[in-house]
Amino acid sequence: MPSLNYSPSVFRGLRRSEAVGLPWAETDLTLGTVHISEQLVASSYDVWEDKPKMESGERTIKLDSETRTLLQLWCERQDMERAKRKAHAKSWKRTGLVFTWEVGGAYHPEYLSQVFMRPIKRLGLPPVRLHDLRHCAQLCCWLPACT
């Protein structure tokens, strides 16, 4: 569900590598916060866990109500996928990550960028990179509807 991955980027400024590397252990849906302490970094096909890009990258972010609700629904869906696979004697890859494929595996960070670009190209819109959503978050911080 890549579209859900964009919500934290748009409203709270997560990098794509931070979104795909976000563990449930650092996500508190009761308080409505996520703690960014790691990211999934990619070089070609190789993907590995690493610390945030900058020293100030490790941070706790308060979620907006929409993203919080989406994450709660995603958690429920992920639990159902895990149970369904278990019921059919199929394996679930235990990554502990918030955003995974139906089998539990992590998304490749570049995959999110590719999926993001498809409708932009199809609609002939001016080029916008997934990274640019981080800058939208800066603007949203000033809007009361985003808090």
C-alpha span between 61 and 84 (Å, rounded): 32
pLDDT at position 144 is 63
Q: What is the mean pLDDT of residues 71-90?
A: 89
Whole-number mean pLDDT of the chain?
A: 83
C-alpha span between 147 and 25 (Å, rounded): 23
pLDDT at position 30 is 95
Greater model confidence, 97 or 10? 97
CA terminus-to-terminus distance, the chain: 24
Check the CA dihedral 21-131-13-10 and report its sign: negative
**Where does the pLDDT of residue 2 fall: very low under 50, low under 70, confident under 90, or very high at 90 and above?**
very low
Burial of 68: CB neighbours in 10 Å, binned 0-12, 13-18, 19+: buried
pLDDT digits (tens, 9 = 90+) for 100-135: 888 888 988 888 888 888 988 999 988 888 878 777
pLDDT at position 11 is 62
pLDDT digits (tens, 9 = 90+) for 40-57: 888 888 888 888 777 767
